[in-house]
Structure formats: C-alpha cells, structure tokens
C-alpha cells in the first residue's frame, strides 16, 4: 500500500465535523421601554432649555455643537495624541493578534526540520564486542544528515478550540468597545475642562469687578471723611471688605491653573506647551437641541454597554471551552524524514522514512477539577449577565438624571438672571443713597454682597447648564464612531 493510500483513513477522519459543546451566545433583547423618565417628570420645556431630540442620537463630533473652534481643535488633538487612548489602542491591537494566534491553532500545524549530527555508535550497547578480525576494533564514528517535516491536526470533535476562538473574538470586541468608551470619555473630559476654564475666568472677572467697586467704596468713604461727612469706621469697613474680597482671587487663579494643567495632560502635552486658553462662555453656543438615543437603540450604540455585552459573549464561550475538556480529543498527523550519512544520498528514496499516526486522549479521573472548572465558567457567565443588566440600568439612570438636570438648569439660569437684575438695582440705589448721605456704607456693602452672590451663582448655573448638555451628549454615545458612509 502506498503512502497516499495509507493516509486516506486519517484524511477522512479529519473531515468529520464535530459539534461545539456549550451554550451558543444569544444577544440580549433590547429593552421595550420607550422613554427614560416617567410622564409625571416630563415638564414643559423652559425657554432657555436645550430640547431633547428623542430618537435623534448619537451625533458624530458632538462637541462642535458648542460653536467653539478652539474647543474643536483641542478635542481633535486629544483624540489623536492622548496617551491613555494610545495605550487602549495598543491593548486592542494585542487582543486582535492574540485572537489570530488562537484561531491559527485550529488549522493543521506544519513544521520542518534539518539536522547535522556527528555520532559514535556504542557497539557494546547492542551486544557486540570489539573484534579486530571482523573489523570491529572500536566504536565507529560517522556524520548523519537529515531533513524532514511533520503535520499535526487536532480534530476538535467537541469544538473546544472553536469556542476558544469565539471567546477570544468576543474579548477583542470588548477591548474595541473599551477603547471607544475611552475616546468618548476623553472628548467629554476635554469639553468639561474647556467649559470649566471659561467659568473660572468669568468668576475671576466678577471678582475683579467687585474689587473695583470695593476700591470705589474706599475712595468715597475717604472723601466723605475728609469732608467731615463720614467717619473712620466707614473707611475701615470699606477697606476690610476690599481685603476680604481680594483674598478669594488667588484660590480662583489656582483653580484656573489646575484646570489648564489637566487640559494639557488630556491633549497629550506638557502644561508649558498648552498656549492661551482665553475661553469665554459668552462666545460658546448652548445647543438648541440634543439628540438623545432611544433606550432600545442605546444598548446597541453606547460603548460601555457593548463592552458588557462582549464580556457576556466571552463568558458564554468559556463554558464551551470548559465543557470540551470533559470529552475525548483526537489528534492525527504524519512525519516524513530523509536521513543519510552523506549529503549525496540525502534525497534518495532508499533513505526515506515516514510515520502516520492518530492519537486519542480522554479524561478519566481528575478529582472533579474539570467539572468544577465548568461550573465556575457557568457562574462567571451569570455574573457577566448581571453586570450587563446593571450597566444598562446605570446608563438609563444617567440619562434620566441629565434630562432632569437640563430642565432644572434652565430654570435656575432664568431665576438667577432675575436675581442679578434685582441685586444690581438694589446696589445702584444703595450707592446713590450713600453718596447723598442718606445711608451708611454698611448698606452699600450688604448690597454688594448680594450682587456678587447673585452674579457668581448665575455664572455657576450657566456653567452647569453647559456641562450637563455635554454630559448628555456623552451619555447617549455621541461622537464615538464615524458617521455612516
């Protein structure tokens, strides 16, 4: 029988298709809920409130909705140069290569070899004694040249290797979605820092304006004292207020410096290389409408939910990997080798040898280890399923909170604007009354405090409004993938 005919039974065995044991992954069903908040919480839209366009998300490059070219530039720089994103991309590339390595083990494994040996045969080991008459005066020495190769193939009758590949593919998907979530988070953090810097700069402007008013009060009280109409106590009260207000500015500037340093880190540069950050809230747009993905679509778009789904897929495939270890495994293969003591005869048929083999291994007794490993895999799959469900609920809660915050922010901004108008009018009247001698400096200082508090609260309310709008974009998975087409 020739070698090809001898190989036929093994080749036929290799073509047998095995089943993949363990459960097949089924994607979790999309939620049936059509809204994030109950009807009782859905109040009429306020005049200064961005409208939520339910069903319109996500929006690619969502940060451009704020109308700041400088912000756009910094976000794009961060997405291109942030080192945390570079690490996430490298981790994803490593996972993809590991998947290819695992998938490659499903194919036949072919190896080649070549050897040159110097051998001395120990004749005594074969029962021959030295005999000069027979020419066996000692152990002979010679060279041996050999070339050959072999092929092996795991039939994978119960799909253990296929489940390993499936598991690795799912883990790679999880890393891909983790990298997408990181990109979404970095974009959100850059926007957050830009808005924070703009808010702190506005607070510093308010504090500087207040100091100018404090100095004006000092000048007024000093003139009144010199004219014999005021007292030293009034002058000291005005000076004390100036000193107190001045003490808050260094802390604001420290907050501004820290915000700039973090922004530089996010865009992948040193703080000294950041350049000017003259951001102004007044120069930015508050989006009129924010696309909000429907709950049934959010689970298919938001990266952290997709990551949790991929983790569940990997955990499900791991059950199949553990189950396959409970069953026999069959491996087939063949080797071919040419060996000769001289290179001239190396490729001749007379110096050829081969073998064809099939091997079976089956677990008999492992002290319950294999069954325990499968049970552990089932438990991890249950944990992954619970984690997925919790991730979905957390996302829904986050969006519901932000939708409520947008409405509250709009009303806060409207109320604070009214408060500023009233406080400003009160301050004007108090100062005029003091200048005409109808009231003391304390009334002016009280009015200034109310005006400062109202102005600062308005800045903070407007900042919250911008920040929550940006957070809603991030929560609804805006900007993590390129637009279709």
How far CA 108 is from CA of 331, 333, 395, in Å, comes to 10, 9, 45
The answer to whether residue 407 sits within a structural domain is yes
Mean pLDDT of 62-85: 95
Radius of gyration of the chain, Cα coordinates, nearest whole angstrom? 39
Q: What is the pLDDT of residue 12?
A: 46
> Which of 153-157, 211-215, 450-454 has maximum average pLDDT?
153-157
**Host domain of residue 202:** 24-105+158-327+368-475
The answer to whether residue 138 sits within a structural domain is no
3-state secondary structure of 109: strand
CA torsion, points 128, 131, 132, 136, in degrees to nearest 10? 0
DSSP secondary structure, 10-27, as one string: HHHHHTPPPP--SPPP-P
Least confident of 7-11, 231-235, 236-240, 428-432: 7-11
Q: How far apart are CA 411 and CA 114, in angstroms?
A: 82
Q: What is the pLDDT of residue 241?
A: 83
The answer to whether residue 346 sits within a structural domain is no
Q: What is the pLDDT of residue 220?
A: 80
Q: What is the pLDDT of residue 7?
A: 45
Question: Which element (helix H / strand E) includes 432?
Answer: helix 369-435
The answer to whether residue 136 sits within a structural domain is no
Q: How far apart are CA 157 and CA 154, in angstroms?
A: 8
Q: How far apart are CA 79 and CA 40, in angstroms?
A: 40
Q: What is the pLDDT of residue 136?
A: 53
Contact 451, 441 (CB under 8 A): no
Q: How far apart are CA 413 and CA 458, in angstroms?
A: 6
pLDDT digits (tens, 9 = 90+) for 302-313: 999 999 999 999
Determine how many CB atoms are found less than 10 A away from the CB of residue 118: 8
Confidence band for 134, pLDDT divided at 50, 70 and 90: low
Least confident of 80-94, 130-144, 233-247, 380-394: 130-144
The answer to whether residue 113 sits within a structural domain is no
Pairwise pLDDT comparison (46 vs 238), residue with the higher score: 238
Q: What is the pLDDT of residue 192?
A: 96
Q: Phi, psi at residue 404, to the nearest 5°? A: -65, -40
The answer to whether residue 362 sits within a structural domain is no
How far CA 382 is from CA of 35, 167, 377, 379, 386, in Å, comes to 28, 16, 9, 5, 6
pLDDT of residue 376 exceeding 70: yes
Percent pLDDT > 90 in the chain is 59
Q: Which tokens hold the place of 341?
A: 């003591």
Q: How far apart are CA 433 and CA 440, in angstroms?
A: 8
How far CA 375 is from CA of 210, 314, 318, in Å, comes to 69, 15, 11
Question: What number of helices (H) and strands (E) belong to the chain?
Answer: 10, 6
Q: How far apart are CA 374 and CA 115, in angstroms?
A: 44
Determine how many CB atoms are found less than 10 A away from the CB of residue 86: 12
The answer to whether residue 380 sits within a structural domain is yes
Domain harbouring 405, CATH code = 1.20.1600.10
How far CA 80 is from CA of 30, 83, 401, 445, in Å, comes to 33, 9, 31, 51
Pairing type for strands 352-361 and 329-340 reads: antiparallel
Identify the residue whose tokens are 């008999």: 364
pLDDT digits (tens, 9 = 90+) for 1-45: 444 454 444 444 444 445 789 999 999 999 988 889 887 777 666
Contact 156, 18 (CB under 8 A): yes
3-state secondary structure of 338: strand
Q: How far apart are CA 127 and CA 288, in angstroms?
A: 99
The answer to whether residue 71 sits within a structural domain is yes
Please give the mean pLDDT across all residues of the chain. Answer: 87
pLDDT digits (tens, 9 = 90+) for 313-352: 999 999 999 999 999 999 999 999 998 888 888 888 888 8
Distance between first and last Cα of the chain = 60
Q: Which tokens hold the place of 199?
A: 């808010």
Domain count, the chain: 1
Mean pLDDT of 98-127: 87
Closest listed residue to residue 308, CA positions, set 390, 379, 235, 231: 390
Q: Which tokens hold the place of 465?
A: 């409004």
């Amino acid at each position: 029988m020739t070698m090809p005919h001898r190989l036929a039974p093994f080749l036929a065995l290799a073509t047998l298709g095995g089943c993949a044991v363990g459960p097949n992954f089924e994607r979790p069903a999309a939620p049936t809920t059509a809204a994030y908040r109950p009807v009782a919480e859905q109040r009429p839209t306020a005049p200064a409130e961005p409208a939520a366009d339910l069903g319109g998300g996500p929006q690619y490059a969502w940060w451009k909705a704020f109308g700041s070219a400088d912000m756009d530039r910094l976000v794009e720089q961060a997405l291109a140069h942030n080192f945390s994103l570079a690490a996430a991309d490298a981790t994803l590339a490593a996972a993809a290569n590991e998947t290819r390595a695992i998938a490659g083990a499903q194919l036949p494994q072919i190896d080649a070899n070549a050897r040159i040996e110097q051998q001395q045969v120990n004749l005594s080991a074969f029962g021959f004694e030295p005999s000069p008459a027979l020419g066996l005066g000692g152990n002979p020495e010679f060279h041996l040249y050999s070339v050959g190769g072999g092929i092996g193939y795991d039939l994978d009758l119960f799909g253990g290797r296929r489940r390993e590949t499936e598991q690795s593919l799912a883990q790679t998907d999880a890393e891909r979605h983790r990298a997408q979530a990181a990109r979404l988070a970095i974009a959100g953090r850059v926007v957050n820092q830009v808005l924070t810097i703009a808010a702190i700069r506005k607070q510093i402007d308010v504090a500087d304006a207040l100091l100018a008013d404090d100095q004006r009060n000092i000048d007024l009280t000093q003139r009144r004292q010199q004219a014999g109409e005021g007292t030293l106590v009034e002058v000291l009260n005005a000076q004390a207020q100036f000193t107190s207000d001045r003490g808050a500015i260094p802390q604001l500037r420290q907050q501004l410096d820290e915000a700039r340093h973090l922004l530089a880190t996010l865009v992948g540069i040193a703080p000294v290389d950041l350049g000017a950050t003259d951001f102004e809230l007044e120069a930015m747009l508050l989006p009129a409408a924010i696309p909000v993905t429907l709950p049934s679509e959010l689970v298919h778009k938001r990266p952290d939910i997709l990551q949790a789904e991929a983790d569940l897929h990997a955990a499900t495939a791991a059950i199949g990997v553990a189950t396959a270890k409970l069953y026999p495994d069959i491996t087939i293969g063949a080797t071919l080798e040419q060996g000769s003591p001289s290179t001239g005869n190396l490729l001749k048929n007379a110096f050829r040898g081969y073998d064809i083999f099939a091997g079976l291994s089956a677990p008999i007794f492992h002290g319950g280890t294999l069954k325990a490993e499968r049970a552990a895999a089932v438990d991890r799959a249950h944990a992954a399923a619970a984690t997925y469900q919790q991730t979905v609920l957390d996302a829904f809660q986050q969006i519901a909170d932000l939708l409520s915050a947008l409405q509250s922010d709009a009303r806060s901004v409207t109320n604070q604007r009214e408060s500023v108008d009233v406080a400003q009018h009160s301050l004007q009247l108090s100062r005029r009354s003091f200048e005409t001698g109808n009231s003391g400096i304390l009334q002016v200082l009280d009015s200034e405090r109310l005006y400062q508090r109202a102005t600062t609260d308005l800045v903070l309310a407007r900042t919250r409004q911008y920040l929550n709008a940006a957070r809603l974009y991030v929560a609804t998975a805006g900007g993590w993938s390129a637009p279709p087409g």
